[in-house]
Amino acid sequence: FSQKPSSSSSHRSSKSSSSSRSEPVEIVERRKRSDGEGYTYHRYTRGKMLGKGGFAKVYLCTAMDTERQYAVKIVPKANLTKQRARQKLQAEIKIHRSLKHAHICEFKHFFEDHNNCYILLELCQNQSMNELIKRRKRLTEPEVKYYMSQLLKSTKFMHSNKVIHRDLKLGNLFLDKNLRVKVGDFGLATQLSDESEKRKTVCGTPNYIAPEVIQNDKEKRGHSFEVDIWSIGVICYTLLVGKPPYESKDVKSTYQRIIRNEYHFPSHIPISQDARDLISSMLQTRPDKRPKLDQLVNHPFFTHDPTKIPRSLPSCCTHVAPDWQ
Ligand code: ADP
């Protein structure tokens, strides 16, 4: 991206809010015409804030011409002064825009002006599964089957494109207006050039991080696609139990529990044997023992009684357990 102030008229025409001069109320995208003859201008109004990330804020925004709504991730250029930060954002954009799938939050456009980079995304009106679990505490097994089968489909698609997400967690599983899962935030994702390649960077979110990522410091063996399978195991457990399996008072104790693989199913919550088997197959310390995505979709948890996987969920599921009768 350009670091210097651009000469784009978009900047000059941007109206600024009184509270935040750098995040304009009206965002203008200057797009090159396909015939190469000049530019077209697309105007958006910025609405309420939808969420905050490490170095970006995400807002609701509406295209002024079509009235279509999107989410726009605004990254201030002031946060991109280090080359490393710019490279990370570039990698996120390159990977995210290459992945088009029903259960991946759609990347629409990238553009920039004098102050900010803008990533225009498909709007997910029902926040993330993190907020869902906070409201609901835990989900019923048919709901978990519904959400998990969508997550497995999107992960299968990512892996077949040699992309490892590396930060699969409830907070990165967004829900659209119909409660369909949309995987988002490719900030830690990586694309391998061949399947046998290993990655060495330690990254992820403490509760969801795989043991081989934590231990890489010592062993230097690297990690691969199996780290996502581990995180999906953590996600599945959290949806059924209401809290992550290795949660502790601090990060160090969480890592210790992960390395020792210390987790259990609380006795007061009824969890089927199929669900327990599925989770424990994914939460295996040795990455090569974890099932592949094809094996997971064919696990009895999903195949025993396929009629038990809902095709859609009623909208009340955002707040209360559905009545399956
Ligand atoms: P970061 O990469 O900086 O962590 P995220 O991509 O995770 O940023 O976005 C931060 C927050 O913004 C999310 O937790 C979520 O609440 C909200 N958000 C992100 N993308 C969308 C979207 N497409 N639709 C609705 N809300 C979103």
Predicted confidence pLDDT, tens digits, the chain (325 residues): 665 444 343 443 444 443 455 677 999 998 888 898 899 999 999 999 999 988 899 999 999 999 999 999 999 999 999 999 999 999 999 999 999 999 999 999 999 999 999 999 999 999 999 999 999 999 999 999 999 999 999 999 999 999 999 999 999 999 999 999 999 999 999 999 888 888 877 777 888 999 999 987 555 678 899 999 999 999 999 999 999 999 999 999 999 999 999 999 999 999 999 999 999 999 999 999 999 999 999 999 999 987 789 999 999 999 999 987 5
ipTM value for the complex: 0.95
Contact between residue 72 and residue 121 where contact means Cβ atoms under 8 Å apart: yes
- Report the alpha-carbon distance of residue 174 to residue 185 in Å, rounded: 10
Residue 210: which of 263, 285, 295 has the closest Cα? Answer: 285
Q: According to the model, what pLDDT value does residue 3 have? A: 58
State the angle between helix axes of 226-241 and 141-160 in degrees (0 to 180), rounded to the nearest 10. Answer: 170
Residue 14: which of 69, 57, 68, 74 has the closest Cα? Answer: 74
94 is in an annotated binding site: no
Q: Indicate the pTM of the whole model.
A: 0.90
Give residue 147 CA to ligand 1 midpoint distance, Å: 19
Q: According to the model, what pLDDT value does residue 9 have? A: 38
Strands in 107-112's sheet, in edge-to-edge order, are 26-32, 39-52, 57-63, 69-76, 116-122, 107-112
Give kind and range of the element (H or E) at residue 111: strand 107-112
Which residue out of 106, 120, 131, 174 has the highest number of ligand 1 atoms within 8 Å of its CB and is therefore the one to mutate?
174
Q: According to the model, what pLDDT value does residue 6 have? A: 42
Q: According to the model, what pLDDT value does residue 16 have? A: 42
Q: According to the model, what pLDDT value does residue 202 have? A: 72
167: annotated active-site residue: yes
Which residue out of 52, 55, 57, 58 has the highest number of ligand 1 atoms within 8 Å of its CB and is therefore the one to mutate?
58
Residue 10: which of 37, 29, 34 has the closest Cα? Answer: 29
Catalytic residue, from 167, 176, 277, 294: name it: 167
Give residue 129 CA to ligand 1 midpoint distance, Å: 12
DSSP string, 137-184: SS--HHHHHHHHHHHHHHHHHHHHTTEE-S--SGGGEEE-TT--EEE-
Alpha-helical regions (H) of the chain: 9-13, 83-98, 129-136, 141-160, 211-219, 226-241, 251-259, 273-282, 293-297, 300-303
Contact between residue 190 and residue 200 where contact means Cβ atoms under 8 Å apart: no
Ligand 1 site, CB within 6 A: 50-56, 58, 71, 73, 105, 121-124, 127-128, 171-172, 174, 184-185, 187
